[in-house]
Amino acid sequence: MSQYPHATIRIELGPGKRLGPGKVRLLELVGSTGSISAAAREMAMSYRRAWLLIEELNEAFGKPVVQATAGGAGGGGTRVTPHGQSVIDAFRAIESESARLIADKLGQFPSLSVRAARDTR
Amino acid sequence: MSQYPHATIRIELGPGKRLGPGKVRLLELVGSTGSISAAAREMAMSYRRAWLLIEELNEAFGKPVVQATAGGAGGGGTRVTPHGQSVIDAFRAIESESARLIADKLGQFPSLSVRAARDTR
């Protein structure tokens, strides 16, 4: 979303364990590229950072959100597990439904929406 | 909120301009303590960091969320402006209404809620 103001949500899974748009986007990109390094590149982050974020998710949920795939000519890659996909789907479903509700409410607060829309610095 | 999982919201006011529970809490503490340094202390952050977060809000909204007060015997303090209070109120209103909606939805996803509730590491 590039329109302002808009709301984003984070799901606090436990102390210090947070699921937000960044990790979900990373997971989606692992799914579409078949590679943690390609996903990291698309998000302009290091491979190491991407790997750590995915490890956080594995730990928070207690089972893997991605898994290695056996390679063909180009070596193996990484794919999203069915569990990882259900995490993505749940987050996106919650996000899209709450986005509608929050968008209505943002409109009720001109001091937020008007000032923010004008502020393009 | 200390129960898991729960959702938190952030309002994206513009590129790199974000209003979330941390800044709102800081602003509330400036209001209740009458001091940026006391508010910073309660949040276990440096005065400098608190000051920078407040400056971010001032810039994002284009007008001050806090202002200096003339001092008595103990010197001056800081209070939240009416505009700052409207920012707090708007955020808390959006948050509490969306929290109810999101709580219902989290319950629909056992893979999220059950695993997270068990995960106390």
Report helix, strand or coil for A27.
helix
Is the distance from CB of B28 to CB of B40 less than 8 angstroms?
no
pTM across the whole model? 0.74
Enumerate residues 7 to 36 of chain B having a beta carbon within 8 A of any beta carbon in chain A: 7-14, 17
Cβ contacts below 8 Å, chain A against chain B, sum to 137
Tens digit of each residue's pLDDT, chain A (121 residues): 557 888 889 988 888 888 999 999 999 999 999 999 999 999 999 999 999 999 999 988 888 999 998 766 666 799 999 999 988 988 898 888 777 777 777 776 545 544 444 444 4
Cβ separation of B8 and A8 shorter than 8 Å?
no
Report helix, strand or coil for A6.
strand
Is the distance from CB of B17 to CB of B56 less than 8 angstroms?
yes
Cβ separation of B13 and A94 shorter than 8 Å?
no
Is the distance from CB of A28 to CB of A65 less than 8 angstroms?
no
- For B108, the closest chain A residue by CA position comes to A90
CA dihedral B28, B32, B38, B44 (to 10 degrees): -40
Neighbour count for residue A67 (Cβ, 10 Å): 12
Is the distance from CB of A56 to CB of A75 less than 8 angstroms?
no
- Residue A110: what residue type? P
Report helix, strand or coil for B108.
coil
Task: Give residue-wise pLDDT tens across range B10-48.
Answer: 988 888 888 999 999 999 999 999 999 999 999 999 999
How far does the CA of residue B21 sit from the closest CA of chain A (Å)?
11
Torsions phi, psi for B7 (to 5 deg): -105, 150
Question: What are residue B11's DSSP bridge partners?
Answer: A7, B19
Write out chain A residues lying below 8 Å of B6, CB-based. 11-12
Write out chain A residues lying below 8 Å of B105, CB-based. 93-94, 97-98
Q: Which of A63, A50, A61, A60 is nearest to A23 (CA)?
A: A50
